[in-house]
Chain A
Amino acid sequence: MPSVLILGAGSDMAMAIAREYASDKFDIQLAARSADALIPLQQDLQIRYNVKATVHAFDAGAFDTHAAFFASLPVIPDITICVFGYLGDQEKAQHDWAEASRIINTNYTGAVSILNVVAEAYAQRGSGLIAGISSVAGERGRMSNYIYGSAKAGFTAYLSGLRNRLFHAGVHVISVQPGFVNTRMTQHLTLPPLLTAQPEAVAKAVFKGISKKKNVIYVKWHWKYIMLIIKNIPEGIFKKLKL
């Protein structure tokens, strides 16, 4: 059985991705801070799809545990999907370093720390596939979420560099750039329905993107063009906008 590791498996998006892979008969390794909280999903995957699912404690912020965590997995997964993220509170993060560093450590440092470990193993083996869920927020800093956005920008750049490096080792890296997704993380926001994806749609896009070995995918596709426009607004004008 092929296997997939899902990092940050407690979120709505991760659950949807897990189901998508389980329905394609992958064994699933679920990892999140509290392994106990993943047990219902583990049971669900086993009963619905008749696959093997395991749960593993993983804390994105505990960098020094990452190597041991990866070594403890029952098998080296064929695919690793890095889903965890933390939106945080922009205003709070502007003056509260604890909040700012949590945003940075979850979305960037933690992701780099674990994916370095995974990349090393995959490069050595000469096979494997890594997917990182970044965000369109990382494509241009905006006043409403630039701390989250800059961490995601770092992550996006990391993924692109990793893709470049691992290509020569036979390992593929895919960057996923979702726009708005209707999840618990965004439930306090009022999102435009036409531009907002359901977690299941993101999961399907991730699955399809990985199967086709795409490099960068946007969900929903409109975002590619929206971001193209946003990125091309001259800075002199952009700084005056309230975005």
Chain B
Amino acid sequence: MQKRLANWGNYPAIASEETTFTQEDQLRAYVSNHQELIARGNGRCYGDASLGKHSISMLRYDKILQFDTEKGILETQSGVTLDQILDIIVPKGWFLPITPGTKFITVGGAVASDVHGKNHHVDGAFSNHILDMDVIIGDGSTVTCAPDQNPDLFWATCGGMGLTGVVTRVKFDLKKIETAYIKQTQIKAKNLEDVIRLFEEYKHYTYSMAWIDCLKTGDAFGRSILIVGEHATPEELSAKQKKAPLTLPAKRKLTVPFNLPSFILNTLTVKIFNWLYYNKNLKREINNVVPYEPFFYPLDAILHWNRGYGKAGFVQYQFVLPLEHKDGLVKILQRISDKGWGSFLAVLKVFGDQDSLISFPMEGYTLALDFPVRKGLFAFLDELDEIVLEYGGRLYLSKDARMKKEVFWKSYPNAEKFAAIVKQYNHNNTFTSLQSERLALTK
């Protein structure tokens, strides 16, 4: 069916011919008879990665195939979303090894973006937890791959944005938990120096990230709230929570029912929001036990929050800079605060080391923030890209909707090697997306 599709940023939007399937042979037949295809999960990447002339909706290919509750191993078809998985595994005492900031993504999307979470510095990215997976490649055949089986296909598929083929089945390991709660600590940091010091001080925590105010200048430049956490033990729960340690209290969901007018988000309102957010914590340090949902997925509580940015949509800008280039981070943050275009809820995190082919994370600082699409934005982001390049960093393809191809090829050290593997499996450019064409990865 011809559909207007856009991902989470609502930019760009295109007309696409969407196909759906429930059986693998239906998909194999489709792939071998069509070109210019791209797999699409729940559309939660922000930019143009899963947009193409023909899109394959994976959402009906959503069966849980195996759940080993002893060893903590889950095998699923790739269209199942993480929120469905959590509903199944948490009551049995297991958790996702890696989860991004939303649970509304598919397993296939987690592979294609090689997602990371607040525990990257301890547990790596999603690819580090995959035991094996199936990919339908360009000629329509299914190839099983793992770190020790067709490793070139495996590593080019993890973080490969769907360009090697369609991920159909994934087997991955889970993390043992005793409760569905997180023991969290929030620490206010006066400025950037302070938060970077705190990241170092709290690096033994499994989960850590910081909310950072990108609009503040002067002494409070980069003021933040560092949030760290561990899965809570039963002893740490309240009497009420102890009664059902693996069950979360039911919560109502809010929604943004329509696109808000874009004038609502301006420098003043964002400054007010940031002030409120920073000052809601009266004490420097707060310790409490919270359900896993608000800890990992604070924004999932508001369905369609992306509509808050209006009809024009927004771009999420996420980059990583090597650990030794704190000065680059300062420089970019300065540009952002001078410009005053940034949104609330910018997120700062320190990544650990990761050995990968084309995945985004590398040891260093990563910052993510939203920019509503407006005149002059892309020119401004091009300037930021130059700084990212200068300091040896790169941008997250899952968020990207506008990077120039030169930036990609210069910033991803294995780009050539990746492109060569893609060519090998993606016969005659069967798989192409708006992003792969923009970055000259296909055709």
Contacts and interface: CB of A to CB of B under 8 A. Distances in A.
Given A12-B20, A184-B26, A40 B1 contact: no
Contacts of A11: 22
B1 A184 contact: no
Interface stretch (B62-70, B249-257, B384-392): B62-70
Contacts of B65: 40, 43-44
B21 A44 contact: no
Given A187-B18, A188-B1, A40 B77 contact: yes
Contact of A43 (B18, B21, B23, B64): B64
Q: Is the interface of A mostly helix, strand, loop or mixed?
A: helix
Contacts of A149: none
A123 to B, nearest CB: 34
B1 A47 contact: no
Interface in B24-41: 25-26
A15 interface: yes
B88 interface: yes
Contact of A191 (B1, B25, B64): B1
Which of B2, B22, B62 has the most chain A CB atoms closer than 10 A to its own CB?
B22
B23 A47 contact: no
Nearest to B22: A12
Given A188-B1, A191-B1, A44 B64 contact: yes
Contacts of B284: none
B56 to A, nearest CB: 11
A44 B88 CA distance: 11
B18 A15 contact: no
Contact of A189 (B1, B21, B25): B1
B60 interface: yes
A10 B1 contact: no
Interface residues of A, number: 20
Contacts, number: 46
A12 B60 CA distance: 7
Contacts of B22: 10-12, 15, 184
A181 to B, nearest CB: 12
Contacts of A186: 1
A37 B1 CA distance: 25
Contacts of A12: 20, 22, 60
Contacts of B64: 43-44, 47-48
B19 interface: yes
A184 B60 contact: yes
Which of B26, B65, B77, B84 has the most chain A CB atoms closer than 10 A to its own CB?
B65
Contact of A48 (B18, B25, B66, B88): B88
A40 B63 contact: yes
Contacts of A10: 22-23
A12 to B, nearest CB: 6
Nearest to B26: A184
B19 A43 contact: no
Give 6 closest A-B pairs by Cβ, nearest first. Answer: A44-B63, A40-B63, A47-B64, A44-B64, A47-B67, A43-B65
25 contacts: A12-B20, A12-B22, A12-B60, A40-B63, A40-B65, A40-B77, A41-B63, A43-B63, A43-B65, A43-B66, A44-B62, A44-B63, A44-B64, A47-B66, A47-B88, A48-B88, A184-B20, A184-B21, A184-B22, A184-B26, A187-B18, A188-B1, A190-B1, A190-B2, A191-B1
Interface of A: 10-12, 15, 37, 40-41, 43-44, 47-48, 182-184, 186-191
Given A43-B64, A47-B88, 16 more contacts: A12-B20, A12-B60, A15-B60, A40-B63, A40-B65, A41-B63, A43-B65, A43-B66, A44-B64, A44-B65, A48-B64, A182-B1, A183-B20, A187-B1, A188-B1, A190-B2
